[in-house]
Each structure stands twice: as C-alpha cells, then as structure tokens.
Structure 1
Amino acid sequence: MARKCFYSFYYNEDNWRVSTVKNIGAIEGQPLVSANEFEEIKRKGDKAVADWIAGNMAGRSTVIVLIGTNTASRKWVKHEIKYAFDSGKALLGIHIHRLLDRSGNTSAKGANPFGTFTVGTDKKPLTNWAKTYDPAGVDSKGVYDTIKNNIESWVEEAIRLRG
C-alpha cells in the first residue's frame, strides 16, 4: 500500500512540476487545489490557511517539500515544515527545478528549505532529520525517472530518520 504523504510547494511557480511528480503514483498525496481554491482559502485569513494545512496533513506520515527556485522563501512552505516537524511527521525535500513546466522550461535550483531551521532545546539543524535529494538525469525525463525509481525509498528513509 502506498504511503500517504503531503506535498509542500510554491504553487505559482511549480504546480505543473508538482502534478508531474504526483502522477508518478508511487505514494498517495493530498488532492491538489487550484490557484482559485487556494486564493479563496487565503481570503479567509491566516487561521483558515493554517487549518487547511492541518486538515490536509492529518493522517499523512511524511511531508515532501518539492523544491523549486523560490520554494524555501515561501511563508506557507515554512509553516508546513514547522507544523510537520512539530507534529512528528517525517520530512524530505526533492529538487524539481530540472523537470519541465507547462511551457517546457526548467528553472534555477532553489535553496534547501530545511537549512534555516533548528529544532529542539539544543537547536540542532533540521537537516539532521530532513534530507534533500537532487535527482540525477541529463534531462527532464531522466530526472522524472530518478524520482519515480526512488521516491518510495526516500519516504521510507525519512520515516526511519524521524524514528
């Protein structure tokens, strides 16, 4: 049975790439909302967004941050990472900048979104528990194949690290 995971990402820049990863089908992700649906949630305020995130993370073992060019700087991605860690969920990141977008373009590699977080009373780096992967491949298809062939083991490794 496929693991249930939550995808965290920057919708405006990466929704096409995220759909590509989601369609691999190796893990079960939450339904992706449209830009209009998310804007409707945002209009209700920060609490509504936080409640939506909490509701969609419920019952998920792992949060997968799909890392595009600007993902690490996004307010709600940061919130999702913190909420996931505080909720005991496993975390991992996958760079998706070399997958093609709707227009057939790749983008610049983004920063590690876990790199600015420290956790616990001893302020250890979150990167101790949250690995990031930069999939191999000379083109979008190669990157896709690397993700497809490894995403399940990456999720299992994240769960093991979170222990």
Structure 2
Amino acid sequence: MAKTVFYSFHYERDVNRVQLVRNINALEGQPVLNAQSWEEVQRKGSAAIQTWINDNMAYKRAVIVLIGQQTSSRPWVIYEIQKAWADKKPLLGVRIHGLSSFGAADSPGANPFEKASVGSGIPVFDPTRTDWRGAIDTKATYANLAANLETWSSQGKVRW
C-alpha cells in the first residue's frame, strides 16, 4: 500500500495543482475537500479548521507541503508545519508552481519552513523543468514529479 501523507497547501490558489499531485497515485493523501466543503469548514471558525487539520493529520506517516507562489503566507499552512514538527512527523516540501493550473504555470514562492520557524534542513524538492527557451515545461515537470514523488516522500526531516 502507498505511504500515507498529509498534504499542506494554499487551497484557493493551488487546489488544481494539488489534484494533479494526487492523480499521480504514488501516495495516499487525505481527501481534498471541494470548494463547498472547505467553505463549510471555514464558516464554523478557527476551532473547526484546527480540528479538521488535527483529525486528518493524525494517522498520516509524513507531511508534504506543496509549495506554490503564496503558500508561505497562509496561516493554516504555517500551523500545519508547526503541528507536524511538534508531532515529530517527517516533513518536506515539494514545489508545485511548475504544474499547470488552467493551462499556466506560476512563479515560485518563498520557503514556508523559514516562516514557520521549525529549524533548518527541511528538504524542498523542485520537479520544475524548462524548455529550450527557459519557459516552464508543465508536462515535463509533471513527469518529473510523478517519477520522484514516492522517493522524495521518504526523505522528510523529523524533529528530534
């Protein structure tokens, strides 16, 4: 069976890219809520969001932060990183800005682990590939991610 992971990401901006990651089927992640379900959790307030995160992260073997352009600015992503660190779960990042969302790649974002203050050395993998002009090749990026995601998932850093 695939390794179970919790995916941390910026929902509004990156949910389409996250669905591509999930479609690789290399790992088993928590269900990605549709927009209506996510809004329902949000309407219930911070305590409900925190409970949803805690419940969905509880039995996962690792936490993978899917890093897009604005991921490091999201308070719940920072919470998820800090919780994973406190729970001593393997933690790593994978850059997803090079995946296609509605036909376009995005710009890379800042490292969210620096903002979360969880120490240094947490690995961040970047599957982004470019074409001969230097433009992001979203298909080659996806293929590179598909070929490496399972291997990368076993290289997370754990707090001792």
Shared fold, TM over 0.5: yes
The aligned counterpart of 1:7 is 7
Aligned length: 153
Q: Distance in 1 between matches of 2:28 and 2:84?
A: 17
Correspondence for 1:118: 117
| 1:111-149: CA deviation from partner (whole Å, max 9, x where unpaired) | 111012334xxxxx2x32x21011142211111111111
Match of 1:81 in 2: 81
| Percent identity over paired residues | 43
Q: Return the letter of the residue paired with 2:146.
A: K
Q: In the aligned structure 1, how far is the partner of 2:36 from the partner of 2:80?
A: 20
Tell me the amino acid that sits aligned with residue 114 of structure 1: F
Higher deviation after alignment, 148-157 or 14-23 = 148-157
Deviation string 1:20-51 (CA, Å, 9 cap, x unpaired) is: 01100000011110121111111111111000
Q: Output aligned runs, 1:54-73, within 5 Å.
A: 54-73=54-73
What TM-score do you get using the length of structure 1 for normalisation?
Answer: 0.89
The equivalent of 2:123 in structure 1 is 131
Partner of 1:155: 153
**In 2, distance between residues paired with 1:76 and 1:116?**
12
How far apart, CA to CA, are the structure 2 residues paired with 1:136 and 1:111? 15
Q: What is the DSSP-based 3-state SS (H/G/I as helix, E as strand, rest coil) of the residue aligned with 1:93?
A: strand
- Normalization by structure 2: what TM-score? 0.91
> What code does the residue aligned with 2:89 have?
K
Q: Is the 8 A contact 2:72 2:110 kept in 1?
A: yes
Gap change, CA 1:117 and 1:12, over 3 Å in 2: closer
Give the corresponding residue for 2:27. Answer: 27
What code does the residue aligned with 2:15 have? N
Name the residue aligned to 1:144.
142
